[in-house]
């Protein structure tokens, strides 16, 4: 008995070391899955969570792109632009409620995405109006009132031939682009058929494609 106690006591520092090492690794892994500025999941983390969620039932997939964000950065500086990104992330979480099965993410730059459980498509316009109003509400920063617009595109996965996240994101992106061309606001994709051409596997005109003046 004394020998067992002695063995456990001797292994204590080693066990504690492994525990702390595992804790640090878990924290680093969690941090890698979160965008450091907005606190939202990154694109890769979002795609993993969304792909699993789509197998559980109908959802709405949203793509959001801020309007006028470059002007804010150019006029007030990047610190203010960062505050706009954080404010947008807060609005997404407040409206969608991650605890209710929704997932919001920052895809990069001023582009965001979200996945929302939506068994009843009648609720989607109400959701999009609320989200648009929340994101475009004035944001106070060091005595300044900052305002940006947003274009939101949505795709109902129930209208797709299969629970395909890439297709849902593509259709939501096309709907977002249609909203942006009409001056902002929100738009719902009509069915699964693609409406825009593709460059390098992405909608022509998006950042990263050959066409200039990307949206």
The residues assigned a catalytic role are 110
21 Cβ contact list (under 8 Å, min separation 6): none
Biggest CA pair distance of the chain: 79
The count of other CB atoms within 10 Å of the CB of residue 17 is 10
Q: Which of 199, 108, 185 is nearest to 154 (CA)?
A: 185
Do the beta carbons of residue 172 and residue 63 sit within 8 Å? yes
Give CA–CA dist 175/105, Å, rounded. Answer: 18
Do the beta carbons of residue 179 and residue 185 sit within 8 Å? yes
DSSP symbols for 84-115: HHHHHHHHHHHHH-GGGT-EEEEEETTEEEEE
Give CA–CA dist 87/144, Å, rounded. Answer: 14
């Amino acid at each position: 008995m004394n020998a067992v106690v002695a063995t456990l006591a001797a292994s204590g520092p080693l066990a504690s070391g492994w525990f702390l090492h595992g804790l640090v690794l878990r924290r680093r892994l969690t941090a890698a899955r979160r965008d450091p500025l907005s606190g939202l999941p990154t694109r890769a983390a979002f795609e993993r969570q969304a792909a699993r969620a789509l197998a559980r039932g109908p959802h709405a997939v949203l793509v959001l792109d801020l309007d006028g964000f470059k002007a804010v950065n150019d006029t007030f500086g990047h610190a203010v632009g960062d505050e706009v990104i954080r404010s947008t992330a807060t609005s997404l979480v407040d409206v969608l409620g991650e605890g209710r099965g929704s997932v919001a993410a920052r895809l990069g730059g001023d582009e965001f995405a979200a996945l929302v459980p939506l068994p009843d498509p009648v609720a989607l316009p109400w959701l999009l109006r609320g989200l648009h109003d929340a994101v475009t509400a004035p944001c106070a920063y060091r005595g300044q009132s900052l305002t940006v617009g947003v274009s939101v595109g949505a795709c109902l996965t129930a209208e797709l031939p299969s629970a395909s996240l890439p297709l849902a994101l593509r259709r939501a992106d096309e709907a977002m682009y249609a909203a942006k061309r009409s001056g902002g606001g929100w738009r719902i994709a009509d069915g699964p058929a693609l409406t825009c051409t593709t460059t390098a596997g992405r909608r022509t005109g998006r950042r990263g494609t050959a066409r200039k003046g990307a949206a």
